Amino acid sequence: MAHMIERHRHIIDFTLATLLRRKGKNGGLLLVYTLIIFVLASVLFFTEAIRREAMLVLQESPEIIVQRTQAGRYQTVPMSWCAGIGSINGVGSAQPRLWGYHYDRTRLANYTFMVPAQDPPGAGHVDLGGAVARMLGAATGDTVAFQGHDGAPRAFTVRKVLEQESQLLTADLVLISEQDYRLFSGVPADQATDLVLQVRNPREYATIVEKITRMHHDARPILRSEILRTYDAVFSWRSGLMLVIFSAATLAFLIFAWDKATGLSAEERAEIGILKAVGWDTSDILLLKFWEGTAISLTAFLAGTILAYLHVFHTSASLFAPVLKGWSTLYPSFRLPPLLDFQQVVTLFILTVVPYTITTIVPSWRAATIDPDAVMR
Amino acid sequence: MISIHNISKVFNAGRPNEVTAVGGVSLDVRMEQTTILKGPSGSGKTTLLGLIGCMARPSAGRIFLKQREITSLPERFLTDIRRTTFGFIFQQCNLIKGITALENVMLPAYPTGEKFSTLRGRAQATLAMLGVEKRAEAKIEWLSGGEAQRVAVARALINNPAVIIADEPTAHLDTKLSLEFIGIMRELKSRGTTIIIASHDPIICESWLAEQVVELRDGRIVAGATMS
């Protein structure tokens, strides 16, 4: 056993010496390999994080939203609609929602103001989303001011800063009381932004939608499935682009692996011959090449994965964002919440480290199984 | 004794470029003596050395090492014999560049799993015996031709082989260094090491070192072979 450990130690020592004496070649190899893993891992992490965000958004959305349009433009909904729509058979409840966007000229940022259905802040208080709090430099108990619809600044005390699982839901959010919202936005007391309906039986959706549109011709009911389709279309398009990047990186990796697999340099072959001639067995050569491949591929894998993690979750995939994230052009920016899926990491490992190690060993195995004098000739 | 019975080695068999490098050679190599394989380039000296040293398998014939036939042994046994019985000195030294002289010397013993400190001590002692201990930490490319030759000899000796096989060891050495090499071989011989050298260098072939000189031409022995 001690002999076996010592044998491995000697061979690993020699592997490191071998790698170091070809610094330029191995450094270049490591760089290219790390870059490929970085792109592959970034794509995997990013698509998964975006998909998760979308899922969380949809979980929160109501079954049916009722909006009002006039000449194709959204208008506020009269509160009086609640009673009528709420009385339709199959509708569990019809609740008005008050929400809207606010453009902060001084910071060139868009915020979403909303009156929450549960636990709204008291008058003169607001809850801030993480990104809004960061932008305003505000913490719980601080006072923040926003310019209302009439141009007058309105001050609020921060009740709390929202820390939620999904930043997409809360990053730009300002939660406010109904009274303050109406004063701030100018929405009259008999109007709401839209209505949200709870429907118990999904098979009744179509009937309910039909009844609503018959009741109010200017109503526009939106089903959760329609939102789902829109999200799906948006994320599919983004996934498609990611797939292109993923395919390019995979292709680069395959070319790279093929290049490794197709042969050894004359110098490498001669060295294998020398090692065999001086008493190394085929298994010793394979062990050497295994450690060589493992050292390079593991280093590249770890470096590429860590860089990809930092890129996606700490710089919000800044390299991909301009093409892939619509909201990356919005301000305040949000960060994808860190998420590391073990299965994804294992898949990436199997797809990159294993083939590389095999492609390193195969040509060496071919050379190592030939008589040493033939390899050296 | 190493006994060779009617061995042949054919390269590219069955192809238009088929070459018979060694054809039907029989020879006894006596232990603790020096055997010189002499002949012009292409006479089959290096191929015969490779066959004796288990670096290649003969196309026909048999080789016995201490009455044991080794020709048909599986690869791993041949490797073991190569490692424990033979020490090789090549024409080009064939040292591995980029690592130190000491590491090169230790290389043949790595697969044995010997303790590092013991191995290092033995490698240093071997280099000291050959007078190059001061160059132990120098990389191979920094060594002179004579120093590299000594390191190559030290590498051949690291596993205490019973037989030293040297292929044209003085081909790239000047007269002074060639004589130094002969001195080293004399020292080894006095310790009971069997030496087989392939060379056409008169300094070697006509030296007192040559106890058995076998002359080869076109892959066949033309003079000097003895068979028991």
Q: What is the pLDDT of residue A66?
A: 93
Residues A265 and A206 in one domain: no
Q: How many Cβ atoms sit within 10 Å of the Cβ of residue A98?
A: 22
- The Cα B151–Cα A283 span in angstroms is 26
Residues A42 and A67 in one domain: no
**Domain end residue (candidates: A165, A200, A223):** A223
What's the domain count of chain A?
A: 2
Q: What is the residue type of A293?
A: G
- CATH number of the domain that residue B117 is part of: 3.40.50.300
Q: How many Cβ atoms sit within 10 Å of the Cβ of residue B76?
A: 11
Question: B160, B129 in Cβ contact below 8 A?
Answer: no
Identify residues of A whose CB sits under 8 angstroms from chain B CBs: 2-7, 9-11, 14, 17-18, 20-22, 270-271, 274-284, 369, 371-374, 376
What DSSP string describes A254-270?
HHHHHHHHT---HHHHH
Name the helix (H) or strand (E) containing A5.
helix A2-21
Cα-flanking dihedrals φ and ψ of residue B145, to 5°?
Answer: -60, -45
Residue B90 CA: distances (Å) to CA of A86, B151, B194: 97, 11, 16
Instruction: Tell me which residue in A275, A277, A282 faces B75 most closely, judged by beta carbons.
Output: A282
From chain B, pick out residues whose CB is under 8 angstroms from the CB of A17: 98-99, 103
Pairing between β-strand B212-217 and β-strand B34-38 as defined by DSSP bridges:
parallel
Residues A295 and A203 in one domain: no
Write the ipTM: 0.84
Question: A64, A221 in Cβ contact below 8 A?
Answer: yes
- The Cα B106–Cα A280 span in angstroms is 12
Q: What is the residue type of A263?
A: G
Residue stretches of chain B with pLDDT short of 50: 227-228
Q: What is the pLDDT of residue A57?
A: 67
Q: Each residue of A192-205: b (16+ CB within 10 Å) or e?
A: bbbbbbebeeeeeb
**Domain end residue (candidates: A206, A223, A240):** A223
Quick: pLDDT tens for B168-179: 888 877 888 888
Beta bridge partners, B220, equal B217
- The Cα B51–Cα B58 span in angstroms is 6
From chain A, pick out residues whose CB is under 8 angstroms from the CB of B99: 14, 17, 21
Cis peptide before A332 (omega within 30 of 0): yes
CA distance B130 to chain A (A): 19
- The Cα B209–Cα B211 span in angstroms is 6
Quick: pLDDT tens for B71-88: 888 888 888 888 888 998
Residues A332 and A238 in one domain: yes
Q: What domain range includes position A305?
A: 2-58+230-376
In this complex, do B99 and A17 lie within 8 Å of one another by their Cβ atoms? yes
Q: What is the residue type of B171?
A: A
From chain B, pick out residues whose CB is under 8 angstroms from the CB of A374: 56
- CATH number of the domain that residue A166 is part of: 2.40.40.20
In this complex, do B96 and A5 lie within 8 Å of one another by their Cβ atoms? no
SS (H, E, C) A168-200: HHHCCEEEECHHHHHHHHCCCCCEECEEEEEEC
Q: What domain range includes position B22?
A: 2-223
Residues A217 and A71 in one domain: yes
B214 belongs to a structural domain = yes
- The Cα A154–Cα B66 span in angstroms is 104
B228 belongs to a structural domain = no
A289's tokens? 């090449």
Residues A307 and A346 in one domain: yes
Residues A30 and A74 in one domain: no
Q: Going from the first residue of chain A to its last (377 residues), give the mean pLDDT of each consecutive group of 10, the final group possibly shorter.
A: 83 88 83 87 81 71 87 90 90 90 85 88 90 87 91 91 66 88 92 90 88 92 80 64 73 71 74 86 88 89 93 82 53 64 85 81 79 64
